[in-house]
Chains A and B, each alone.
Chain A
Amino acid sequence: MTATTPAPKGTQPEGAGEGAALLEVGDLSVTFATDRGTARVVHQLSYSVGHAETLAIVGESGSGKTVSSRAVMGLLPPAAKVTGSIKLNGLELAGLPEHEMRRHRGRDVAMVFQDPARSLNPTMKVGEQVTEAIRLQSRTAKRQARQQAVDLLGQVRLPSPERRFHEYPHQLSGGMRQRVMIAIALAGSPKLLIADEATTALDVTTQAQIMDLLLDLQTEYRMGLILISHDMGLAASYAQTVMVMYAGQAVELAPVGELFTGVRMPYTKVLLDAVPRLDLPPHSPLPVVSLRAPDLTRPAPGCAFAPRCPRCADDCRQQDPVLEEHENKHFWACFHPEEPATAPTQAAPVREAAGPGAAVPGAPVQEVRQ
Chain B
Amino acid sequence: MSAMLATDPGGVPAAGEGGEPLLRVRDVVQEFQLPGRGTVHACSGVSLDVREGEALGVVGESGSGKSTLVRSILQSPRPKSGQVLFLGQDLTRLRGKELLATRRHVQTVYQDPFGSLEPRWKALDIVAEPLVGYGVGDRRSRRARAAELLEMVGLDPAVHGRRRPAQLSGGQCQRVAIARALALQPKLLILDEAVSSLDVLSQSQVLILFERLRTELGLAYLFVAHDLAVVKQVSDRVAVMYLGKLCEVGPAQELYAAPRHPYTSALLASVPSPVPGRRARAPITGEVPSALDPPSGCRFRTRCPRARDLCAVEAPRPRTVNQGHTVACHFPIDQPEAAT
Query: Is B one of A's binding partners?
Result: yes
The segment from A4-12, A30-38, A280-288 found at the interface with B is A280-288
Task: Give complex CA distance A236, B202 in Å.
Answer: 22
Q: How many A-B contacts are there with CB distance less than 8 Å?
A: 188
> A204-B267, A261-B276, A274-B200 known; A209 and B285 CB under 8 Å?
yes
Chain A residues with CB under 8 A of B208? 286, 288
Chain B residues with CB under 8 A of A283? 211, 233-234
Is there contact, CB below 8 Å, between A278 and B204?
Answer: no
Is there contact, CB below 8 Å, between A233 and B204?
Answer: no
Is there contact, CB below 8 Å, between A365 and B251?
Answer: yes
For chain A, residues 268 to 285, give those with C-beta under 8 angstroms from any C-beta of chain B: 270-272, 274-284
**Chain A nearest CB: distance from B60 CB in Å?**
9
- Central interface residue in B278, B323, B324, by most chain A CB within 10 Å: B278
Smallest CB-CB separation from B323: which chain A residue? A361
Q: Is B213 interfacial (CB-CB < 8 Å)?
A: no
Smallest CB-CB separation from A204: which chain B residue? B270
Is there contact, CB below 8 Å, between A355 and B273?
Answer: no
**Chain B nearest CB: distance from A58 CB in Å?**
10
Partner of B201, one of A207, A261, A289, A364: A289
Q: Is B306 interfacial (CB-CB < 8 Å)?
A: no
> A274-B200, A275-B200 known; A355 and B229 CB under 8 Å?
no
> A278-B256, A361-B322 known; A204 and B271 CB under 8 Å?
yes
For chain A, residues 178 to 213, give those with C-beta under 8 angstroms from any C-beta of chain B: 203-209, 211-212
Interface size class of A (residues with CB under 8 A): 35 or more
Is there contact, CB below 8 Å, between A278 and B339?
Answer: yes
Task: Give complex CA distance A284, B81 in Å.
Answer: 38
Is there contact, CB below 8 Å, between A278 and B228?
Answer: yes
Partner of A230, one of B200, B205, B207: B200
Is there contact, CB below 8 Å, between A278 and B273?
Answer: yes
Smallest CB-CB separation from A258: which chain B residue? B276
Is there contact, CB below 8 Å, between A271 and B200?
Answer: yes
Is there contact, CB below 8 Å, between B229 and A347?
Answer: no
Smallest CB-CB separation from B275: which chain A residue? A236
Smallest CB-CB separation from A239: which chain B residue? B276
Chain B residues with CB under 8 A of A232? 274
Is there contact, CB below 8 Å, between B273 and A236?
Answer: yes
> A203-B226, A204-B267, A361-B253 known; A289 and B205 CB under 8 Å?
yes
> A208-B270, A274-B200 known; A361 and B324 CB under 8 Å?
yes
Task: Give complex CA distance A280, B233 in Å.
Answer: 8
Q: Is A234 interfacial (CB-CB < 8 Å)?
A: yes
Q: Is A335 interfacial (CB-CB < 8 Å)?
A: no
Chain A residues with CB under 8 A of B211? 283, 368
Smallest CB-CB separation from A366: which chain B residue? B236
Task: Give complex CA distance A99, B248 in Å.
Answer: 56
Chain B residues with CB under 8 A of A272? 274
Is there contact, CB below 8 Å, between B276 and A271?
Answer: no
Smallest CB-CB separation from B273: which chain A residue? A233
Chain A residues with CB under 8 A of B169? 291, 293
- Central interface residue in B61, B228, B233, B337, by most chain A CB within 10 Å: B233
- Central interface residue in A204, A236, A256, by most chain B CB within 10 Å: A204
The segment from A42-50, A106-114, A169-177 found at the interface with B is A169-177
Q: Is A75 interfacial (CB-CB < 8 Å)?
A: no
Is there contact, CB below 8 Å, between A289 and B204?
Answer: yes
Smallest CB-CB separation from A277: which chain B residue? B229
For chain B, residues 177 to 217, give those with C-beta under 8 angstroms from any C-beta of chain A: 199-205, 207-208, 211, 215
Chain A residues with CB under 8 A of B254? 359-361
Which residues does B use to contact A, with CB under 8 Å?
53-54, 61-62, 169, 171-172, 199-205, 207-208, 211, 215, 226-230, 232-236, 250-254, 256-258, 266-268, 270-279, 281-288, 322-325, 336-340
9 smallest CB-CB distances across A and B, nearest first, come from A208-B282, A276-B233, A274-B204, A361-B251, A203-B61, A237-B272, A233-B272, A208-B270, A276-B229
Known: A211-B282, A230-B199, A354-B257; 12 extra A-B contacts, CB below 8 A, are A208-B270, A233-B274, A237-B276, A237-B277, A275-B200, A275-B274, A276-B207, A278-B229, A278-B232, A282-B235, A345-B274, A360-B254
